[in-house]
Every structure is written in C-alpha cells, then in structure tokens.
Amino acid sequence: MALPIRLPGLGHVNCYAIVDDEGVAVVDPGLPGPSTWRAFQDRLKQIGMETRHVHTVIITHSHPDHFGGAARIAKESGAKVVAHHSFSFGPPAAQTATPEVSADDLAAQRRSDTEEAAEDEEPDERIQDQLASFTRARTPWGGELPRPRWRTRLKWRAIRFISGRIVPVVSDPVEHGDVLRLARREWFVVHTPGHTQDHFCLHDPETGLFLAGDHVLPSITPHISGLATSPDPLASYFYSLDRVAEIKDVGRVLPAHGHPFEHLAARTVAIKHHHQERLEKLKDISREYGRPATVPEFSHHLFHPRAWGSMADSETFAHLEHLRIAGDAELKVDRDGTYRYLTR
C-alpha cells in the first residue's frame, strides 16, 4: 500500500497489509500527518478494511516514514506495536535529519536547482525565533549535523503540538529469531543492523516472502550513517547482508521503497561490491593527498559536487572508521577536534 511521503530523494514508502481472520497487520505505516493518514485509510478501504480492523503495527526501524502513523493507529484501534527491542528515536534536532538513501542516490533524485533554492529560502526573524530550539550540534569529525529544512522542522513541531505523540510506544518488542504468527503463517524476525541499529526484516518460509524494509532495496542503497550508535555501522551492515544472503527459500522481496524484486542474494552482493569499491577509492584519495586529510576533503573526492554536504560527510566518516577499525587507516585529531585520516 504505497503511501506518499516528502523526504529527500523519496516520494513514497511501501506499507504492507497482512490480512487474516482477526483483521489486518500493517508494516511501516508512513509519516505522521494528514495527507499520509488519508492515503493510509484509502488503501485500507481498497481491501475492505478500516483503521479499527488493524490489530498489529510492525515497524521495521526507527525512521519517521516507517513509524510515523503507528501511534495514531494504536490510539484509534488499540493495535499492538511491534518493533525491535532497541527501537529508539533521537532528540528533536535530529529527528528528520537522518536520511533514508545514500548521498549519491539522493543527489541523483533531487529536483532542479531552482526548485531547491525556492524551498530552502530561510523564514523571517519571527519564524527563526520559533525554530531556536533546533540548534546545530557538531559531528565527531568537526562538521555540522545534517538538519532538516526549516519547513520540515515547522511541520513536525505543528504535528507534535496537535497530536501530542509521534513516536509510538512499543508494546511487543522483538529480537532476532522471534516468530510472529500472522495470516496463519510464521514470520521469522531477522535482525539486520546497519542502516539503523534496530532494523529488522521478516521472512515467511512458507511463501518465500521477505519483508526487507530499507535493508535491501532494488535499485538504490540505504544511507549508512557515521553517526550511528554502532562503532562500525558499515561492518554491521556487511554482516547483516551476509546473513540475509544465506537465508533459504526466499522468492520475492518486498522492499520499503521501490518495486518488489527477486534474487535477494545477488542484490546483497551488488550492494557490498558498491561499498567495497568506495573503500578502495578512499585509499586512492589518501595516496593522492600524501598526508592526513579531513573527512570533507575525502568526501569531496568521493562524491560528485551535487552530493556534497553533511550527508556525504557522514557516509564518508562511516567508511573511514571502518578502515581505521580494520587497521587500514590511522586517525589524527587536531587541537580543535578536527579528524584527519591517513590510509595504509
């Protein structure tokens, strides 16, 4: 049940309905807000259901376009909310800052420069005062944290004021290996950290269906953030991709963005190859500099100029830290806290 969203690089999120005799379980019910809510109700009507029939909400991970509708559904239907036991959502300043897709994919899907400039115009002083709480924190490497546009920040504040709750209360936390009984079938929980630490997928061996969330997407790659709670999110992502590729009896993959696809294992290999090429390119960049370089210096060689910014820096940092932890790079910290890396 594709739901409209307005996030950088994305126009929809795939919400899935699993129908049974008790009603319906929904997976990833979109962003909070009236437009998504109307679309969600319309999609339910197409299968003869209403919000009151939803008995379970499943959240694959802690990004707003996946859990945004959960609190309202639970309030109106009494549905239980299923998420990984480590599900968490950060402070307001970071709530919409974490991107879904990689900096490369985001840059490729952006609108024209004219449209971007029009939407990025700053508000007047009165509105700026209203946004004072959204302060710009610093990243570990010395740059600014990714921050949502001012229009988005105002929208989220308004929704919080009206609804009182956006982040749902998880009533039924799950862990790797747990089984959910849905539509008379057993769905196995597969913990897949990397994109977020709390990401999980669902596998139904009986039908060969695999609900992939953002872990494996058909044509784009999820953002691997250097600001994750894991010390090496890229290593976590590689490990999760390998474990998913080993699962037998996967026929059709149902992603959170894009169209359903087959050949899950082949897609995981392609994604790993993409990141491994990026790691090798970082080594080449370091050799070109011949000295310890900053994260933005690496980022500006790694990404096309249209992708430059805090998101690209975050992905670059995640890859550099992966090299450092593996013993393939050294870190030097300047007196002002600036990180500089030299690969081996």
pLDDT by residue for the chain (344 residues), tens digit each?
999 987 666 789 999 999 999 999 999 999 988 999 999 999 999 999 999 999 999 999 999 999 999 999 999 999 999 999 999 885 433 434 566 888 887 777 654 333 443 333 333 333 333 333 333 467 888 766 665 555 555 555 554 544 456 889 999 999 999 999 999 999 999 999 999 999 999 999 999 999 999 999 999 999 999 988 889 999 999 999 999 999 998 999 999 999 999 999 999 999 999 999 999 999 999 999 999 999 999 999 999 999 998 889 999 999 999 999 999 999 999 999 999 999 99
Per the DSSP assignment, residues forming a β-bridge with 255 are 213
Q: Quote the pLDDT of residue 123.
A: 35
Query: Which are the contacts of 229, defined by CB distance < 8 A and separation ≥ 6?
Result: 197
Residues 271 and 293 reside in one and the same domain? no
The label of the residue with tokens 């929704």 reads: 159
Helix (H, G, I), strand (E, B) or coil at 138: strand
Last residue of some domain: 260, 284, 308?
284
Q: What is the pLDDT of residue 70?
A: 97
Residue with tokens 């890396």: 341
Predicted pLDDT of residue 146 = 61
Find out whether 77 and 37 touch, Cβ atoms under 8 Å.
Answer: no
Q: Which two tokens stand for residue 9?
A: 């690089």
CATH number at residue 296: 1.10.10.10
Task: Report which of 58, 72, 316 is spatially closest to residue 187, judged by C-alpha positions.
Answer: 58
Do residue 254 and residue 277 come from a single domain? yes
Same domain flag for 228 and 329: no
Q: Please give the Cα distance from 204 to 132 (Å, whole number).
A: 47
What pLDDT score does 98 carry? 60
CATH number assigned to the domain comprising residue 49: 3.60.15.10
pLDDT of residue 139: 86
Tell me what pLDDT residue 90 has.
59
Q: Which domain holds residue 34?
A: 1-284
| Whether residue 319 sits in one domain with residue 176 | no
Q: Are 151 and 268 in a shared domain? A: yes
- How many distinct structural domains can be found in the chain? 2
